[in-house]
Amino acid sequence: MPKLNEKNVREKLLEVYDPEMNISIVDLGLVYDVTIQEKKVNIKMTLTTLGCPLFPVIEKDILSKLKPLGPTDVTIKLTFDPPWSFEKMSEKAKAMLGL
């Protein structure tokens, strides 16, 4: 089983895709911070729009992808400070969207 550490959590988050854009939440620049305290994972992230109705889908996918790493708890804190913008996207994501 892969070890629970920040690198492995971030790799798993690369497998979580925004349902509308079909681009990983990491490449979209939605993940602001990942911290681990013992077996607890804390994720600070944003969404592309305030009140995005697809957050429950993204949250479920995050929990599913992280489960094999064995965390005892995963806390996802949404923030809109700073607000998301296209500048936060990776070059890969920008290329996929033709930006």
pLDDT value for 2: 76
pTM: 0.91
Domain, as residue range, for 74:
6-94
Output the pLDDT for position 1. Answer: 64
> How far apart are the two ends of the chain, measured CA to CA in Å?
38
Give the count of domains, the chain.
1
pLDDT along the chain (99 residues), means of 10: 89 95 95 95 94 91 96 95 92 90
Token pair 């969404």: residue: 47
Give the integer Cα–Cα distance in Å for 47 and 57. Answer: 12
Could you tell me if residue 99 is inside a domain? no
pLDDT of residue 95: 92
pLDDT at 97: 86
In a domain, 1, yes or no: no
10 in any annotated domain: yes
Nearest by Cα to 5 from 33, 43, 39: 39
Tokens 């992280």 correspond to what residue?
A: 66
CATH number at residue 57: 3.30.300.130
pLDDT at 72: 93
